[in-house]
């Protein structure tokens, strides 16, 4: 069982990782942080008690738990098993908790590498977005051996509202794929609904007020419709990151020999936004795409 006196090595202080590492520090864990941009570590230390690391390898052998929150497969693989990968330096029984959204195969490969040195790799992607991370209200879908799940549950408790053991390593990532498939469809449906209301001359806020009370309601509808109506797209998960996730979903679907027509279509819509250099906007920018397409402004 992990105690708050144990040492946590936290890698990745992005929009999600920054507050997550902060919750661990506030809970009393001994937290060391690393980020490729050193200024983020410095900023973190202004708000939380801990240690900033000059490299991800520094003092890694002294940590009981390593937590990753990075962007993609390549980042996680390089950090864990690259030329200066940390797995080779870990102490026996160290638990690696990877909150990154990656392919299931990456998770399996990293679990095998960790097992070779007597350690455990856990794929534990999260849902809840930046606000969920700030509020300590994330949902975790976990793939790991049953004997380490309780340890993962205890360690992540400071920023978690729900955590479910989905099965062996890789199961967490496959569950996150389901999450992203559903979210992509919901955002496009919301964008189309708002666009229809707008073009039909309706008061879009009144429309949202009433439909939010019925079957059309969703987290996306409740939390994003006001910023979408206002044309504000700097809130939450970026198009570039969602597009990366949808590519993972579609690749896994191809491996399973199944079709995901809506996911494929929405991925194409996000590609259009990226082609217009709008990939840093949040995922609700699908409404902007519809508006620009009608006005002839989207290439």
286 alpha-carbon distance from chain centroid:
19
Dihedral, CA of residue 221, residue 227, residue 228 and residue 234, to nearest 10: -110
DSSP string, 242-273: HHHHHHHHHHHHHHTT---HHHHHHHHHHHHH
DSSP string, 45-67: HHHS-SEE-SSTTTTGGG-SEEE
d(CA 82, CA 85): 4
Going by their DSSP bridges, the two strands 65-68 and 7-11 should be labelled as parallel
Task: Give the helix/strand (H/E) hosting 222.
Answer: helix 219-229
Reported for 197-205, long-range contacts at CB under 8 A and 24+ positions apart, including other chains, are 198/291, 199/294, 204/229, 205/229
CB 27 within 8 A of CB 158: yes
Our answer to whether residue 176 is catalytic in this structure is yes
211 alpha-carbon distance from chain centroid:
28
Q: Label residues 143-160 b or e (16+ Cβ within 10 Å = b).
A: bbeeebbebbbebbebbb
d(CA 58, CA 32): 10
Q: Of 176, 226, 244, 292, which is the active-site residue?
A: 176
Reported for 193-202, long-range contacts at CB under 8 A and 24+ positions apart, including other chains, are 194/225, 194/228, 194/229, 194/287, 195/287, 195/290, 195/291, 198/291, 199/294
Which residues are known to be catalytic? 176
């Amino acid at each position: 069982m992990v105690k708050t006196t144990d040492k946590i090595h936290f890698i990745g202080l992005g929009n999600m990782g920054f507050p997550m590492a902060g919750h661990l520090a506030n809970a009393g864990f001994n937290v060391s942080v690393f980020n490729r941009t050193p200024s983020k570590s410095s900023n973190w230390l202004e708000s939380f008690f801990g240690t900033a690391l000059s490299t991800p390898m520094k003092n890694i052998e002294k940590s009981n738990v390593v937590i990753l929150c990075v962007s993609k497969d390549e980042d996680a693989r390089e950090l864990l098993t690259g030329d200066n990968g940390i797995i080779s330096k870990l102490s026996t029984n160290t638990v690696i908790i990877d909150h990154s959204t990656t392919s299931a195969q990456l998770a399996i490969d990293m679990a095998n590498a960790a097992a070779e040195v007597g350690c455990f790799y856990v794929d534990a992607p999260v849902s809840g977005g930046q606000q969920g991370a700030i509020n300590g209200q994330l949902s975790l879908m976990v793939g790991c051996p049953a004997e380490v799940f309780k340890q993962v549950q205890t360690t992540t408790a400071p920023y978690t509202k729900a955590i479910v053991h989905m099965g062996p390593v890789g199961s967490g990532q496959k569950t996150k794929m389901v999450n992203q498939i559903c979210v992509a469809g919901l955002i496009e449906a919301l964008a189309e609904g708002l666009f229809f209301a707008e073009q039909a001359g309706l008061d879009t806020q009144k429309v949202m007020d009433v439909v939010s009370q019925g079957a059309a309601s969703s987290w996306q509808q409740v939390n994003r419709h006001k910023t979408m109506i206002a044309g504000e797209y700097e809130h939450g998960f970026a198009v570039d990151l969602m597009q990366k996730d949808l590519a993972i979903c579609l690749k896994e679907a191809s491996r399973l020999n199944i079709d995901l027509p809506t996911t494929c279509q929405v991925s194409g819509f996000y590609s259009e936004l990226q082609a217009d250099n709008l990939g840093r906007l949040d995922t609700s920018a699908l409404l902007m795409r519809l508006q620009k397409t009608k006005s002839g402004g989207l290439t």
